[in-house]
Amino acid sequence: MLALTEIRRRKLQFGFVTGVVALIAYLIIMVTGLGLGLYDAAGTALLNLNGDHLAYAANSNLSVIRSRLTEADVAEVRALPAADRATPIGYVAAVVEYAPGETDTAAIIGVVPGAFSEPAVVEGGPLGGPADILIDRTWARLGDTRVGDTLALPIGFQTRDFTVAGIVDQGYFFFQPAMYVDIAAWRELNFPGDPAQRPAASLVLLQGRDLDGLRGEGWRIVTKEDGFNNIEGVQAQQSTVDALRYMGLLIGAMVIGVFFYVITLQKVSLLGILKAIGAPGLYLVVQGLLQVLIVCVIGAALAVGLALLTKATVLSSGAIPITFTNGAMTVSSISVVIAGVVGSLLSARQVASVDPIIAMQQQ
Amino acid sequence: MAILQLRDVSKSYGQGARRVEALREVTLDVERGEVVALEGPSGSGKTTLLALAGALLTPTSGEIRVDGDDITRYGARARTRYRRDRVGFVFQGSNMVPFLTARENLLLVADFGDADRPALRRRADELLDQLGLTAVRDQIATSLSGGERQRVAIARALMRDPALLLVDEPTASLNLELGTRVVDALLGEVHQRDKACIMVTHDDRMARRADRLVGIRDGRVLTDTPLR
């Protein structure tokens, strides 16, 4: 097979092109991983809630931060016939002291202990009282926090100690590891002043059908996915990452296309000779595309290996929100291969249009 | 019947004031077992005649028959098949595929379709042996000497056992001794296997080894001299 033999015999030339393809594919895999990581960090804890709809305050513009529901709002939502189950949840960002003088921020989510909003623990036990806290495994890993440890959360100018009752696997919310406390404790954390002025919840988590779009005087219901997409910055962030990815694919297609176009131009006389001695144009086009395919597949495979190596070394601390999934890496790799083949169509056209008379004009 | 018949063949390039008449109403027959040397100055139309006989070009007017078939009526696919199966080209400077070995250059034609691969492999080894190339059969084309490359080119042209060989300046880059060996190899193949050959050459000593010498000037056949 002419295509394979040429690759085998011209290792330096094709190795160089493969290296460039690998770097482009690596960039696209990393950008895709960053997009997934940021997506996760933006609010997997919200998406992982055991419900399908969320009720927001009517004047919150679907912002979890601004949404404050009264007891009456919560009761009204709970009484909706379409709601099979409903439970209030609260959100506040807090600086958590996990060791003397060592602090970090976390997303504190208030839930009713025992309600369907309380996440399942992967280690330890559920919330047992107002001083218990469930922490996400990302926090447990970063802060080396274990079940039974104490975390100090601020209430006004004071702090209150919470005991880690269990570890959950819910992810992030607003780019902070999620922690779960009794919603009564959340009210104190979020509104340390007059108890009478405290809102009942940030949101109401619902299970049921035909809830999307329902509104009351002080609340409105949307799907959980709509709620996620309205988290501040999520849309802009994902659009930016998508733009970077598509730009990478476009640049990849152009670079691979130009490389193979130059290689094709260098071989025009040879292609003319091959056609003159009876090589069909389709045979030569197939050989060219086969070379592109081989180079792109090897380049993409190298990029996957490089990405996994990066994950195991540079990114092992988890400080950079990059997530690799098999699906994302497969899609990114296939995208690079397709971009390469599309980019090389110009070369294929060039190959097809070579006139065999060139063979007679080589003198 | 002559294997190759050209009847009133003309070929022009360009249009209007830039029109160039490369061949003018050329009539020529080439018989089996015959080597015809084409000689003439640069631009006289020798290479155009070769390209027309090899279906690399189509004539502006006239008729070209090979074994009775009018090849000027062939479509693109039929021309490709004709070049693959019925004509053997030897280009000036050999024009090997540089990253293939001598043997692989011969076996290349097996990739172009309708091939009995084991038979072609046997044929390749047989031709390499006949042309004294067995020792270099696994060498990359770029590492072969000029004479070896030219003999590989002849072997490649003979791979599908074509009835017609079209040879363009086969000795241009070779010294007299090597050039003579290359042309003798070609003559031997044509005479022994009853093929026909048109050989374009500027070298009068090589042209004199052919069976006929055809002189072309300004696109016209001026002389046609039997040498045997």
Q: What is the pTM of this model?
A: 0.80
Average model confidence (pLDDT) across chain B: 90
Please state the ipTM of this predicted complex: 0.90
CA dist., res. A348 & res. B49, Å (int): 30
> pLDDT tens digits for A16-52?
999 999 999 999 999 999 988 888 888 889 889 999 9
Residue B173 scores a pLDDT above 90? no
Q: Which residues of chain A have pLDDT under 50?
A: 363
CA A251 from chain center: how many Å?
22
At A363 the pLDDT is 44
CA geometry: angle A247, A345, A292, nearest 5 deg: 85
Q: What ranges in chain B are assigned the alpha helix state H? A: 46-53, 76-85, 102-107, 117-130, 146-158, 176-192, 204-207
Kindly report the number of other CB atoms within 10 A of residue A293's CB atom.
15
User: Which residues on chain B are in Cβ contact (under 8 Å) with A10?
Assistant: 99
CA geometry: angle A281, A282, A283, nearest 5 deg: 90
- Give the residue from chain A lying closest to B76, CA to CA: A280
User: Which residues on chain B are in Cβ contact (under 8 Å) with A270?
Assistant: 95, 97-98
User: Which residues on chain A are in Cβ contact (under 8 Å) with B77?
Assistant: 280
CA dist., res. B72 & res. A284, Å (int): 24
CA dist., res. A13 & res. A16, Å (int): 5
Cβ pair A363, B92 in contact under 8 A: yes
> pLDDT tens digits for B99-147?
999 999 999 988 887 778 899 999 999 999 988 899 999 999 999 988 8
At B94 the pLDDT is 63
Q: Do B89 and A283 touch (CB under 8 A)?
A: no
The gap between the terminal CA atoms of chain B, to the nearest Å, is 19
Torsion of Cα atoms, B178 then B179 then B181 then B183, to 10°: 160
Cβ pair A191, A199 in contact under 8 A: yes
- Give the residue from chain A lying closest to B173, CA to CA: A363
Q: 């296997």: which residue's tokens?
A: B193
For residue A183, which of A88, A114, A69, A96 has the smallest C-alpha distance?
A88
